[in-house]
Amino acid sequence: MRNIVLFGSNLVVSTVGASLRWRSGLQLIQIDALAPDALQRLEAACPDVILFDLAAARSDFAVPLLRNRPCLLLVGVDLVTKKMLLLSGEESHLFTTEDLLEVISGDIENEGA
Protein backbone atom coordinates (compact mmCIF):
# COMPACT_ATOMS: atom_id res chain seq x y z
CA MET A 1 0.00 0.00 0.00
CA ARG A 2 1.43 3.40 -1.01
CA ASN A 3 0.66 6.39 1.20
CA ILE A 4 -0.18 9.37 -0.99
CA VAL A 5 -0.62 12.80 0.58
CA LEU A 6 -2.77 15.29 -1.28
CA PHE A 7 -1.14 18.49 -0.04
CA GLY A 8 -3.70 21.25 -0.37
CA SER A 9 -7.43 21.51 -0.64
CA ASN A 10 -7.91 23.53 -3.81
CA LEU A 11 -9.66 22.36 -6.97
CA VAL A 12 -6.50 20.99 -8.62
CA VAL A 13 -5.49 18.77 -5.69
CA SER A 14 -9.10 17.69 -5.10
CA THR A 15 -9.53 16.76 -8.77
CA VAL A 16 -6.37 14.67 -8.82
CA GLY A 17 -7.39 13.04 -5.55
CA ALA A 18 -10.84 12.18 -6.86
CA SER A 19 -9.34 10.43 -9.87
CA LEU A 20 -6.98 8.39 -7.66
CA ARG A 21 -9.50 7.42 -4.96
CA TRP A 22 -10.66 4.31 -6.73
CA ARG A 23 -7.21 2.92 -7.47
CA SER A 24 -6.28 -0.10 -5.42
CA GLY A 25 -3.03 -0.07 -3.50
CA LEU A 26 -3.20 3.64 -2.69
CA GLN A 27 -4.07 5.18 0.65
CA LEU A 28 -4.92 8.86 0.16
CA ILE A 29 -4.50 11.41 2.94
CA GLN A 30 -5.58 15.03 2.42
CA ILE A 31 -3.67 17.72 4.31
CA ASP A 32 -4.57 21.39 4.14
CA ALA A 33 -1.38 23.15 3.04
CA LEU A 34 -2.49 26.35 4.79
CA ALA A 35 -2.96 24.76 8.21
CA PRO A 36 -0.48 26.00 10.83
CA ASP A 37 0.66 22.43 11.52
CA ALA A 38 0.75 21.34 7.86
CA LEU A 39 4.45 20.46 7.82
CA GLN A 40 4.20 18.45 11.04
CA ARG A 41 1.20 16.59 9.63
CA LEU A 42 3.15 15.82 6.44
CA GLU A 43 5.99 14.30 8.48
CA ALA A 44 3.59 12.32 10.67
CA ALA A 45 1.76 10.88 7.64
CA CYS A 46 4.96 9.14 6.45
CA PRO A 47 3.95 9.43 2.80
CA ASP A 48 5.58 7.70 -0.12
CA VAL A 49 4.36 10.43 -2.47
CA ILE A 50 3.15 14.00 -1.94
CA LEU A 51 0.95 15.49 -4.66
CA PHE A 52 0.59 19.27 -4.74
CA ASP A 53 -0.60 22.09 -7.00
CA LEU A 54 2.41 23.79 -8.58
CA ALA A 55 0.60 27.12 -8.79
CA ALA A 56 -0.48 27.19 -5.15
CA ALA A 57 2.27 25.43 -3.23
CA ARG A 58 4.61 27.08 -0.78
CA SER A 59 8.14 26.23 -1.73
CA ASP A 60 9.52 25.96 1.80
CA PHE A 61 8.19 22.47 2.48
CA ALA A 62 10.10 20.50 -0.17
CA VAL A 63 13.78 20.55 0.78
CA PRO A 64 13.45 19.64 4.49
CA LEU A 65 11.17 16.73 3.61
CA LEU A 66 13.51 15.42 0.92
CA ARG A 67 16.51 15.67 3.22
CA ASN A 68 14.72 13.72 5.96
CA ARG A 69 13.20 11.18 3.57
CA PRO A 70 15.32 10.70 0.42
CA CYS A 71 12.96 8.05 -0.99
CA LEU A 72 10.03 10.47 -0.91
CA LEU A 73 8.64 11.60 -4.27
CA LEU A 74 7.07 15.04 -4.60
CA VAL A 75 4.76 15.48 -7.58
CA GLY A 76 3.64 18.96 -8.50
CA VAL A 77 0.80 19.14 -11.00
CA ASP A 78 -0.45 22.00 -13.14
CA LEU A 79 -3.72 21.11 -14.84
CA VAL A 80 -3.73 24.30 -16.92
CA THR A 81 -0.43 23.59 -18.67
CA LYS A 82 -0.86 19.81 -18.26
CA LYS A 83 2.62 19.52 -16.79
CA MET A 84 4.03 17.64 -13.85
CA LEU A 85 7.17 18.42 -11.84
CA LEU A 86 8.88 15.51 -10.09
CA LEU A 87 11.18 16.14 -7.14
CA SER A 88 13.09 13.47 -5.31
CA GLY A 89 15.77 13.27 -2.69
CA GLU A 90 18.12 11.37 -4.97
CA GLU A 91 21.64 12.30 -4.02
CA SER A 92 24.99 12.29 -5.71
CA HIS A 93 28.42 12.79 -4.18
CA LEU A 94 30.11 16.07 -4.99
CA PHE A 95 33.86 15.91 -4.60
CA THR A 96 35.15 18.34 -7.19
CA THR A 97 34.00 21.06 -9.55
CA GLU A 98 34.37 18.47 -12.31
CA ASP A 99 31.74 16.31 -10.58
CA LEU A 100 29.37 19.27 -10.53
CA LEU A 101 30.04 20.06 -14.19
CA GLU A 102 29.34 16.45 -15.11
CA VAL A 103 25.90 16.67 -13.51
CA ILE A 104 25.18 20.03 -15.14
CA SER A 105 26.39 18.84 -18.55
CA GLY A 106 24.27 15.72 -18.29
CA ASP A 107 21.18 17.82 -17.59
CA ILE A 108 21.94 20.14 -20.51
CA GLU A 109 22.44 17.20 -22.87
CA ASN A 110 19.12 15.67 -21.78
CA GLU A 111 17.14 18.86 -22.40
CA GLY A 112 17.14 18.34 -26.17
CA ALA A 113 15.92 14.75 -25.87
> Is 26 in contact with 50 (CB distance < 8 Å)?
no
Specify the CATH number for the domain of residue 9: 3.40.50
CA distance 93 to 24: 37
Number of domains in the chain: 1
Question: What domain range is 80 assigned to?
Answer: 2-111
Summarize pLDDT for 43-52 with one digit per residue, the tens.
Answer: 899 999 999 9
Cβ-contact 82, 68 below 8 angstroms: no
Give the Cα separation of 98 and 47 in Å (integer): 35
**Residue 32 pLDDT grade (very low, low, confident, very high; cuts 50, 70, 90):** very high
Name the band, by pLDDT with cuts 50, 70 and 90, for residue 111.
low
Side-chain-side CA neighbours of 80 within 13 Å: the count stands at: 5
